[in-house]
Amino acid sequence: MGRIGYFFLYVCLAVVALFQILPIIWLFIFSLKDNKEIFAGSPFALPSEFRWENYQKVWDGGIGIYFFNSVWITGLAIILTVLFASMATFAITRMKWRLSGFVLGLFMVGLMIPIHSALIPLFSMFLSVDLIDNPFAVVITYTAYNLPITMMILLGFYYTLPREIEEAAIIDGSSVHRLFFQIILPMTVPVMSTTVVINMIYNWNEFVFVNTFISSEKYKTLTVGIQNFIGQYMTDWGAIGATLIISVLPIILAFIFFSNKVVEGISASAVKG
């Protein structure tokens, strides 16, 4: 491909990127306006006065509780999912035992189970152990449902790890636990970054499980709590825009800071040596 070809390629990519970013720019401008400017002026016109108080208004109104719940529930579920998936993948790919293939198949079956088909059994199970209206029910569900996809991403990378590293560690007297936590796990950081971002997107945006298992306002996450919150500002569209910006900002920041790691992790897990 010559210079002209690359030029047109970059132009096309720039146009696509612009169309991807445009809704976010519009929403941010929207969140800094009052109702009069929203309905009277151009959608992309800058406000005559930047109304940052819209953000203060919604934060003081209670969205901070939902934001905090989303952060710690998402974070804890990611840590548990990536840790358990890494341990299971290590055992299946790096250790020799008779039922390893069968166990891997059981995990992969989880990819074929629709979320909605498990709602009633999960609700019944959590009700029997008094975990309804408990955020840990959501954390457990997120961890279990994300294990198969996380393991599938990790599998390709674990298969590429050279056996010589493990053999050298064992000769030096390393235990299995030390081998995994101090040698293998640090080597998988690129692909783990990919799984972290994927898990974050799913957990942060998830609605069905939180809406089913949580009823108290103090435990709701952004995706569910924002419904009730928006009702308080039915006519204040600027405040609604500020609420939506707050809800999407963490995902945008995650892509900005981890996009290179995601590409690197996907490439690493896709190649077998």
Tell me the average pLDDT across 65-78.
Answer: 94
pLDDT for the residue 171: 87
Mean pLDDT taken over the chain: 86
- Tens of pLDDT, residue by residue over 165-193, are 888 888 888 888 888 998 889 888 888 88
- Tens of pLDDT, residue by residue over 36-71, are 888 877 777 888 888 898 898 888 877 889 999 999
146 pLDDT higher than 90: yes
Q: Can you read off the two tokens belonging to residue 209?
A: 């499980």
Give span(s): CATH 1.10.3720.10, the chain: 62-270
- Tens of pLDDT, residue by residue over 156-166, are 888 888 888 88
- Tens of pLDDT, residue by residue over 14-23, are 999 888 888 8
CA distances from 154 to 104, 150, 186, 267 (A): 12, 6, 13, 11
Tell me the average pLDDT across 116-129.
Answer: 91
Which of 43-47, 75-79, 215-219, 256-260 is predicted with the least confidence, judged by mean pLDDT? 256-260
82 pLDDT higher than 80: yes
pLDDT for the residue 193: 85
Please, which pLDDT band fits residue 130 given cuts at 50, 70 and 90? very high
| Total-model pTM | 0.85
Architecture of domain 62-270: Orthogonal Bundle (1.10)
- Tens of pLDDT, residue by residue over 199-229, are 998 999 999 999 999 999 899 998 888 776 6
